[in-house]
Amino acid sequence: MRNIHVITDADLDGACSFLCVKLAYPGDNITYSVTTEKKFLEDISSFTFHDYDVVVISDLNLKEDQIKICDFENVVVFDHHSEHLDIVNLYKNAKPIVKDYSSCTNLIYDSLKMEQKNLSNNQKLLFKIVDDYDSYNLKIPFSKKLNQVFWSYNGDRVEKFVKDFGNGFFGFNEFQKNALKIIENKIERFFKEETIHRGNIKIGGKSYDVAGVMVSFSPNEIAERIIDEQGVDFVIMINIKGKSVYMRRNKNCTLNMGKLASVLIEGGGHEDAAGGILNDSIINITKLLKPIS
């Protein structure tokens, strides 16, 4: 029995990445901790890598200084962010499995040959749903709802996710349905009460029609509805309490959100959606936006 520790991202794909490793090695002792790209350096500073036979780092778009502090021989890094792929040669000791994939869950699923393991159909469906959500293909009707249920958890979301869905996806129970209803009502209230700002912003010589809002929950759902209703190129969402910024683009817009986030808000992400920290540059940009009634 090996001691394996998984350090994973705080979102649904991160939680499911841990579940995938756990199901891949049922004979091992597997623990986890949850972090984010923003908190990684701080969280890792007190972590002792040599306490474990293997440390898996999953779904984290690590940058150069972050790679340096976890580059040990017993470390395996799974990730699917394209910017991470560009600097994968910085790993000298760790084993990076960084590929351009629809989700980290799916990357681990394929890399650990989960198809040949004894998973039930419900477990396979769960992995498909999480992949469908993280890639934002949204071809399965439960994908967005599973993500909402995940973010409705308080406390240790990974533990709750594994408890609720470790045996696979069987639909939602009454408790989860109730949580979904509460979120739906919150989103309705948001669109009645909150002010959406809008304006044109020049980036790289091109002018973009941009919306800006303050959001503290369900950023994807809110961004999507704003894009739908306003037809803007992309949405900037500011979470004051979390000191963070999230951006999602219209599917007709070609501006890469991940690249924009890396230059503008010290963050990163994917082409369609990305995030970073609330700084002066983003505050100055949002000053160009005017409230719409």
Binding site for Mn ion (CB under 5 A): 13, 59, 104, 134
- What's the min distance (Å) between Cβ of 9 and Mn ion? 6
- What's the min distance (Å) between Cβ of 36 and Mn ion? 12
Distance, in Å, from the CA atom of 3 to the CA atom of 55, rounded to the nearest integer, reads 9
When the beta carbons of 13 and 132 are compared against Mn ion, the nearer one is 13
When the beta carbons of 134 and 164 are compared against Mn ion, the nearer one is 134
When the beta carbons of 104 and 257 are compared against Mn ion, the nearer one is 104
Distance, in Å, from the CA atom of 171 to the CA atom of 183, rounded to the nearest integer, reads 17
When the beta carbons of 81 and 198 are compared against Mn ion, the nearer one is 81
- What's the min distance (Å) between Cβ of 148 and Mn ion? 17
Distance, in Å, from the CA atom of 257 to the CA atom of 208, rounded to the nearest integer, reads 13
Cα–Cα distance list, 157 to 15, 146, 150, 161 (Å): 8, 12, 7, 6
When the beta carbons of 67 and 274 are compared against Mn ion, the nearer one is 274
- Round to the nearest angstrom and report the end-to-end CA distance of the chain: 62
3-state secondary structure 116-169: HCCCCHHHHHHHHHHHHHHCCCCCCCCHHHHHHHHHHCCCCHHHHHHHHHCCCC
DSSP string, 13-27: HHHHHHHHHHHH-TT
Q: DSSP character for 271?
A: S
Name the residue with tokens 């808000």.
265
The closest residue (CB) to Mn ion is 13
- What's the min distance (Å) between Cβ of 105 and Mn ion? 7
- What's the min distance (Å) between Cβ of 102 and Mn ion? 9
- What's the min distance (Å) between Cβ of 73 and Mn ion? 25
Angle between helices 121-134 and 12-24 (to 10 degrees): 150
When the beta carbons of 112 and 214 are compared against Mn ion, the nearer one is 112
DSSP SS3 for 83: helix
